Chains A and B, each alone.
Chain A
Amino acid sequence: MTEQKSNVLMGKYEVGKMLGQGTFAKVYHARNTKTSESVAIKVIDKDKVMKVGLMDQIKREISVMKMVRHPNIVQLYEVMATKTKIYFVLEHVRGDVRRLLVRILDPNPSTRISMEKIMENPWFRKGLDAKLLKHNFQVKEKDVAPPADLDCLTESKQQEVKKPCNLNAFDIISLSTGLDLSGMFEESEKKRESKFTSTSTASTIISKIEDIAKSLRLKLTKKDGGLLKMEGSKFGRKGVMGIDAEIFEVTPNFHLVELKKTNGDTLEYQKVLNQEMRPALKDIVWAWQAMNFGAKGSNDLDVRKYSESYFGLCPDDSSSPNSPPVAGGGRLTQTAGDAEPSAASPVPDQESIRLDRGSDAHGLRRRQRRGTLRMTDTVQCRRRYSPAQLCPVFLCSVRRRTLLHEGSYGEGTTHCLVFHCCKIEKWMPMTSVTKAWGTAAWMLPMGCILGV
C-alpha cells in the first residue's frame, strides 16, 4: 500500500499498524499529524466494492454515520478518496467493550454477567441521561405511553394501511368455530372465508399479502382498519374474482387474518386459496383456524418457531444457552424457561418497534428530531430507549452478525463493526431477516445506534 510506504496519508494522518480486516476494507491505526490524536482509518477498496455493486451502500454508510453522534458509536471524522480507495477517518476506540462482550456471551449462566452489572458498566452508562434511566426503571412498561406525537409518525409508505382493528375479548371469543353454526348448512370445502393467526407484525403480514397479490396478478387496494382488497384481472366464470384480507390485532404481536371471497366463482377461489395462497403464506401463518378444515386445520405446530419469532432468538441460539435475555415481557408461557426472567430487565418489548421500509437518510434525520429512531430503510422505533436498555440486545445481535460475516475485526474497530454489521441487515430480504433472528434482536440495535 502506497500510503504505508510513505506512512503519511494525505499529508495529514500517520498510518500505523493494521487493526483489522474485512471483505472490502482494512482498518489501520493512525495519528493525526497536527493534533496527534489517535484515529482509525478504514480503507475501502473501490474496485472490490464496485464489482459487487455495493457503492450505494458505502454512500449510505457515509451519510448515516455522519449524522450519528453517540458516545458509544464510533464517530466518522472525515471521508477522503483517491482513484482506487476510499478512506474513512474514524474515532479510535479502545477495546474495553470487548471484555464486556466476552462476559455477556459467557456460555455458563452462573458466571455470566448479570443485567445489573451490565448496566453498571461505564461503557453502558456513557452518555446516558441519569434521569431517563431512573424513569425507565421505575415506571412500568405499560405505564409509559408513547408520546402522542409519535403516533402520527406511522405515516410513511408502508403505513398507509391504518392500524388493524383491535379485537376485544368478545371479538376474540366470537372467532370460535364452536359458535359458527354454518357448518350444519354447507360443505366445508365450499367455505367462503378462512382465517389464520400470525405472530408477525401487521406490516410484515401486509407486505406478504402484497407480494402474493403481485405474483397472482391481483390488484390490491388498502382500506382502513387493516383491510386489503384484491381483485383479479381476468373475467372468470362468475365475474372477476374478489378477495378480501382483513387483519385484526389481538396483541401487537399477534394478529388474526381473515380471507374472504367477495366475488367470482367459488371453485376458482378455492383453487387460488388452496394451491397458491396457503402455500405462499406459510412463512407468516402460525395456525390456520380450524374452520371446518377437517378435525384440525392448523399446521404442525412448532413451539420453537414461536419462541424464535417472539424473542428474536436465532435458530442456532436455542442450542447455546448464552443468549442474553431478550425477552421483554415474555408472553409465551412455555418458553418462560428459555429466557432469563426479566423482572429487572428493562429491555423493552419488541411490540413497540415497528418494521418499516422505504424511508431514507433524510427521513432518518427528521424522525430522530421528532423522537423516533429510524435507520435508513428498515427500522422505526416508536419509543426512546436508553442505551442501557438496548445494549444487551444490541450486543447479542452483534454476535450474530459476526457469525454471519466472516472476517476479523480488530479491537479498535469494535464499534465500527457493530455499526457496519447492523447496516448489513438492510441488504437482506425482509423475510429472511425476520426468519433468522425474529424481529427484536435486529431492530432494537438500530435504536441503540441511532442514539438516545
Chain B
Amino acid sequence: MGCASSKQFKRRTPGYEDPNILAKETTFSVNEVEALYELYKKISNSIFKDGIIHKEEFQLALFRNSSKKNLFADRIFDLFDQKRNGVIEFGEFVRSLNIFHPDTPMTEKIAFAFRLYDLRCTGFIEREELKELVIALLNESDLFLSEEAVEQIVDQTFKQADANGDGKIDPDEWKDFACKNPALLRNMTLPYLNMQKSTWARAVVM
C-alpha cells in the first residue's frame, strides 16, 4: 500500500490503538505490543486483507483451516470481540490475549473462563450449558458417549462444583472449583506470551 518505507504503525488499521496505551493497560511491554501487532497483521491479512481479524481468519490461525467450525473457538472469538461487531480489532486482540499472559493474575483467568462457559450469558454456568459443552467436545473428537454417560459426567462435576446445590454454578463457586482444580485453566495461559523467553516474539519482531 505504498508505505513500505514508512516506520512501523504508519498504516493504521481500523481499531488500531497506541502501543503505549495498550502497554499501560496490560502486562505487555511496548515492544511486546508491537510484536503482537506484527502477529495481528499477519492473521488479519490472511484472507480478507482488510487488517481486521474475521472469524474465518481466526479459525485459520487456530486450526490451519478457515472453515472449521468449533463451538469453543466461537466462544473465544466472541469474548475477544468486545465491541460485538463481528471482528477482532487490534485493541481487543491485545487486551484479550493479556488474559493468557503467564503473569496475569489467576482471578482474571478464572473470570474469563467463567464467561467462556456461560454460553447464554446468564451469569451462571447452568447444567444444560455444561452438558452442551461436553457434547460439543465429544463431537469434536468423534466420540460418542451415551446420553447416560454424559449425564453422569455432568452430574459428578456438579456435585463437586455446585456447592450450594442450586443446579447452577455461580462465579464464586466457579472460583473455588477452579482454585481446587488448576488444571482446568491450563488453556488460559500461553507460555508464548512471555516474550523474553519466547523465540516466537524474536522471530516476529525481526
Interface residues of A (CB under 8 A from B): 142, 168-186, 188, 197, 250-251, 254, 286-287, 289-290, 292, 294-295, 298, 301, 306, 329-334
Give chain B residues whose Cβ lies under 8 Å from the Cβ of A330: 146
8 A-B residue contacts at CB 8 Å? A170-B117, A176-B71, A179-B187, A180-B62, A183-B64, A184-B43, A197-B141, A298-B142
The B interface is mostly helix, strand or loop, or mixed, namely helix
Report the minimal beta-carbon distance from B142 to chain A, rounded to whole angstroms. Answer: 5
Closest residue on chain A to residue B127 by CB atoms: A169
Q: Taking CB as reference atom, which chain A residue is nearest B73?
A: A178
Contact B74 A178 (CB under 8 A): yes
Which residues of the other chain, A, contact B187 by a CB distance below 8 angstroms?
174, 179-181
> In the complex, which of the residues A254, A287, A290, A329 has the most CB atoms of chain B within 10 Å of its own CB atom?
A290
**Residues in B whose Cβ lies below 8 Å from that of A298:** 141-142
A433 to chain B, nearest CB (A): 25
Interface check B140, CB cutoff 8 A: yes
Q: Determine whether B121 belongs to the interface, using a CB cutoff of 8 Å to chain A.
A: no
How far does the Cβ of B188 sit from chain A's closest Cβ, in whole Å? 8
Residue in A closest to B67 when the chains form the complex, CB atoms:
A295
A181 to B160, CA, bound (A): 28
Contacts beyond the supplied A168-B153, A250-B145: 9 A-B pairs with Cβ under 8 Å = A168-B181, A173-B130, A175-B137, A177-B72, A181-B190, A185-B200, A188-B64, A332-B144, A332-B146
- Residues in B neighbouring A334, C-beta threshold 8 A: 144
| Complex interface: chain A residues within 8 A of B148 (CB) | 329, 331
B142 touches A295 (CB 8 A): no
* Interface residue? B106 (CB, 8 A): no
Chain A residue nearest to B183 in the complex (CB) = A171
Collect the chain A residues with CB atoms within 8 Å of residue B157's CB: 168-170
A178–B62 CB distance below 8 A = yes
B63 surroundings in chain A (CB, below 8 A): 177, 183, 290, 292, 295
- Complex contacts, B166 vs chain A, CB 8 Å: none
B186 near A174: Cβ-Cβ < 8 Å? yes
**Are A173 and B134 in contact, with the CB atoms below 8 A?**
yes
Give chain A nearest CB distance to B126 CB in angstroms: 12
Check A185 against B190 for contact (C-beta < 8 Å).
Answer: yes
The answer on a CB contact under 8 Å between B154 and A176 is no
Q: List the 7 closest pairs (A to B, CB-CB), nearest first.
A: A178-B72, A178-B73, A178-B70, A169-B157, A185-B192, A176-B72, A168-B157
Q: Among A174, A197, A333, find the residue whose CB has the most chain B CB atoms closer than 10 A.
A: A174
Least CB separation from B157: chain A residue? A169
Report A-chain residues with C-beta under 8 Å of the C-beta of B71: 176, 178
Please give me the residue from chain A that is nearest to B146 by CB atom: A331
The residues in B between 95 and 153 inclusive whose CB is less than 8 angstroms from any CB of A are: 97, 100, 116-117, 130, 133-134, 136-138, 140-149, 152-153
Q: Does B184 make an interface contact (CB < 8 A)?
A: yes
Instruction: Quote the shortest CB–CB distance from A351 to chain B (angstroms).
Output: 10
B39, B70, B147, B161: the one contacting A177 at CB < 8 Å is B70
Q: With A and B bound together, what is the CA distance between A177 and B185 in angstroms?
A: 14
Q: Which residues of B contact A173 (CB under 8 A)?
A: 72, 117, 130, 133-134, 137
- CA gap between A188 and B177 in the complex, in Å: 32
Q: Does B21 contact A (CB under 8 A)?
A: no
| B20 at the binding interface (Cβ < 8 Å) | no
Asked if B163 is at the interface of the complex by the 8 Å CB criterion, the answer is no
Assign chain B's interface to a size class.
35 or more
Docked pose: A250 CA to B138 CA in angstroms: 11
Q: Does B156 count as interface, using CB distance less than 8 angstroms?
A: yes
B68 interfacial by beta-carbon distance below 8 Å: yes
What separation, in Å, do the CA atoms of A251 and B138 have in the docked complex? 13
Kindly state the separation between the CA atoms of A177 and B139 in the bound complex, as whole angstroms.
Answer: 12
CA distance A333 to B138 in the complex (A): 13
- List residues of chain A with CB within 8 A of the CB of B30: none
Q: Are A169 and B149 in contact (CB under 8 A)?
A: no
A197, B153: Cα distance in complex, Å: 17
Q: Which residues of B contact A197 (CB under 8 A)?
A: 141, 143
The residue in chain B whose Cβ has the minimal distance to the Cβ of A183 is B62
Q: Kindly list chain B residues whose C-beta atoms are within 8 Å of the C-beta of A250.
A: 145, 153
Which residue of chain B has the shortest Cβ distance to A175 in the bound complex? B137
Instruction: Say whether B47 faces chain A, with CB atoms less than 8 Å apart.
Output: no
Cβ-closest chain B residue relative to A306:
B144
Residues from chain B with a CB closer than 8 A to the CB of A170 are 117, 130, 157, 161, 177, 181, 184
- Looking at the assembled complex, report how far the CB atom of B172 sits from the nearest CB atom of chain A, in whole angstroms: 16
In Å, the complex CA distance between A441 and B172 comes to 47
B76 lies within 8 A of chain A by Cβ: yes
B28 to chain A, nearest CB (A): 14
Question: B45: CB under 8 A from chain A?
Answer: no
- Quote the shortest CB–CB distance from B106 to chain A (angstroms): 15
Give the complex CA separation of A329 and B181 in angstroms: 30
Residue B61 lies at the interface, judged by CB distance under 8 Å to chain A: yes
Contacts of B64 in A (CB 8 A): 183, 188, 292, 294-295
**How far in angstroms is the closest Cβ of chain A from B103?**
16
Given A171-B184, A292-B63, do A179 and B144 touch, yes or no (CB 8 Å)?
no
Give A280 to B146 CA distance when docked, in angstroms.
29
A427 to B163, CA, bound (A): 51
> How far in angstroms is the closest Cβ of chain B from A292?
7
Contact A172 B144 (CB under 8 A): no
B65 beta carbon closer than 8 Å to chain A? yes
How long is the Cα–Cα vector from A332 to B130 in the complex, in angstroms? 20
CB distance from A38 to the nearest CB of B (A): 49
Residues of chain A within 8 A of B145, CB atoms compared: 250-251, 254, 331
Q: Which of A170, A179, A289 has the most CB of B within 10 A?
A: A170
**B147 and A333 within 8 A (CB):** yes
Do B68 and A169 touch across chains, with their CB atoms under 8 A apart?
A: no
CB contacts (< 8 Å) of A142 on chain B: these are: 152
Is there an interface contact between B154 and A290, defined as CB atoms closer than 8 Å? Answer: no
- With both beta carbons as reference points, the residue of chain B lying nearest to A142 in the complex is identified as B152
List the A side residues contacting B152 at CB < 8 Å. 142, 251
Contact B76 A181 (CB under 8 A): yes
Per the bound structure, the CA–CA distance linking A329 and B116 in Å amounts to 33
Give Cα A381–Cα B17 distance, bound, in whole angstroms. Answer: 64
